[in-house]
Structure 1
Amino acid sequence: MILPDKTCELEAAIAKIRDGDTVMVGGFGVPGTPFTLIHELVRQGQTGLTVIKNDANETGMGIDHLLANGQVARLITTHIGLNARAIVMMNKGTLEVEFCAQGILAERVRAGGAGLKAIVTDIAMETELGDGKPRVQVNGQEAMIETAIRADVALLHSAQADPFGNLAYVATARNFNPLMAMAAGCVIAESEKVVPMGQLEPNAVHTPGPFVDHVVELSDLSEEYSVVRR
């Protein structure tokens, strides 16, 4: 069996995203954030996006470029405290923000990837994060329903990939990327290095190739990646 070669040009991969799409973006701060894919999305200019990411990055980095370019209508995230622009846009009403507890965001994405419709939890139930969400009784105790999350497209960053799309992450870059790879209709991964088939040790693969649709090899790492330079 000959496995398909999923490597492609950056421009062609990001062109898969359409106006109004829901886009998951891997990363926790800098580690695992696909800055090159984000920059190409800014260049192409797709609008009305719903972006799902653990954080909004800092001003002048990553997701902030999409916000500055007016491409994001809605942001589903755990915090925006490092991004002054996101805070201003939210307070002005030009950006809709849905906050989740960090573990709940991860679990909602995981549930989406597993084909579940929702999860049941009591986390954050008596806070603003739980306002308006359905309640159920489980073993005599009240709990809350959190809907699962899926996306049209997921953008990921990996340290290594092979042409079939097997991905290996390094250290804390292995955060939301593996979960999001399972929860989107189209998965685009940028990789610091693409190695020939068979060179990735099986135990080093964190996201198997069947979950990945397109692989973009990075020619270099911009200054935004400086925290994770090795």
Structure 2
Amino acid sequence: MAIDKTFRSAAEAVADIPDGATLAVGGFGLSGNPMALIEALLESGATDLSVVSNNCGVDGWGLGILLAAGRIRKMTSSYVGENKEFARRYLSGELELELTPQGTLAEKLRAGGAGIAAFFTRTGVGTLVAEGGLPQRYDANGNVVQGSSPKDVRTFAPGGVENEYVLEESIVTDFSLVHALRGDRHGNLVFNKATRQFAPPAAMAGRVCIAQVEELVEPGEIDPDQVHLPGVYVHRVVEVGTDIEKRIEKRTVRATEGEA
């Protein structure tokens, strides 16, 4: 039997994501945001979502559109970024936030997809990440009403050098949403540049991975050596085309020669 994981539309691909679902979403800043899937999820009406992503987009773009609509209950992120609404909702008690070091977050997602329950890392030792008390929810008056729990810290000596390491549990979500440059009908994906930062581990972490691709090709057209994520991790593929908007989170301009 031929394997064909393609769906006709983003709306069809996300139609069964229910209220209260957990989602891992690719994106590094605004690079690789799966906008067609995010917009379709907004239209579907799903709410009370718990989202794991490096950041939450910006006001009016990326995950920011779900946040502004009040659809997200909790974010697990490493970066609040340029999203003022994200900061406002967190500090006013409207949003739960689990801040996680960026590399740790990527590994928690990858480990979840690889079937690894937990791992020890030096990142966070000696901080609130390990000791607990990192604010996760405030009330309307700015008081901390929920803090993170302390984590197991142990001493190991890889290479003969003793150091303390903190235990981090992996992340597995109900669904994952990612954007890829190219994909085939079997779900093999190729990502472009910075999108490779978080899209592959986010995709791996979802029990059901939904990928939007700019170009859909037939199986065998992608050189196996160029596949960044094998189709075993991908369950649904939607072609969105190349005529899509790709925003930049924050523009900076380098002064040209002769300028002050």
Range into which the TM-score falls when normalised by the shorter chain:
over 0.9
**Count of residue pairs the alignment pairs up:** 225
Q: Which amino acid aligns with 1:58?
A: V
CA deviation digits over 1:94-138, x for unaligned, max 9? 100001111110111111111111111221122222222222233
Structure 2: how far apart are the matches of 1:193 and 1:16? 24
Structure 2: how far apart are the matches of 1:135 and 1:3? 48
| 1:210 paired residue among 209, 220, 232 | 232
SS at match of 1:182: helix
Structure 2: how far apart are the matches of 1:96 and 1:209? 33
Give TM-score, length-normalised by structure 2: 0.82
CA contact 2:125–2:164 (8 Å) conserved in 1: no
Question: What's the counterpart of residue 3 of structure 1?
Answer: 2
Asked if 1:163 is matched to 2:185, the reply is: yes
Asked if 1:61 is matched to 2:83, the reply is: no
CA contact 1:191–1:216 (8 Å) conserved in 2: yes
CA contact 2:185–2:217 (8 Å) conserved in 1: yes
Structure 2: how far apart are the matches of 1:226 and 1:20? 29
1:172-187 matches, cutoff 5 A: 172-187=194-209
CA deviation digits over 1:53-79, x for unaligned, max 9? 011112111010010111111000001
Structure 2: how far apart are the matches of 1:69 and 1:95? 12
Which is worse superposed, 119-128 or 37-46? 119-128
Give TM-score, length-normalised by structure 1: 0.93
Question: What's the counterpart of residue 152 of structure 2?
Answer: 134
Question: What's the counterpart of residue 92 of structure 2?
Answer: 92
Structure 2: how far apart are the matches of 1:141 and 1:156? 36
CA contact 2:177–2:211 (8 Å) conserved in 1: yes
Q: Which amino acid aligns with 1:209?
A: G
SS at match of 1:125: coil
CA contact 1:56–1:82 (8 Å) conserved in 2: no
SS at match of 1:93: coil
- Deviation, structure 1 residue 141: 4.1
Q: Which amino acid aligns with 1:17?
A: I
Structure 1: how far apart are the matches of 2:82 and 2:30? 12
1:112-131 matches, cutoff 5 A: 112-130=112-130, 131=132
1:70-109 matches, cutoff 5 A: 70-109=70-109
Structure 1: how far apart are the matches of 2:185 and 2:114? 25
Question: What's the counterpart of residue 188 of structure 1?
Answer: 210
Unaligned runs of 5+ in 1: none
Structure 2: how far apart are the matches of 1:103 and 1:201? 29
SS at match of 1:216: strand
CA deviation digits over 1:141-171, x for unaligned, max 9? 4321111111110101001111111111111
Question: What's the counterpart of residue 51 of structure 2?
Answer: 51
Structure 2: how far apart are the matches of 1:30 and 1:178? 16
- Deviation, structure 1 residue 36: 1.0
SS at match of 1:174: helix
CA contact 2:215–2:242 (8 Å) conserved in 1: no
Structure 2: how far apart are the matches of 1:141 and 1:81? 32
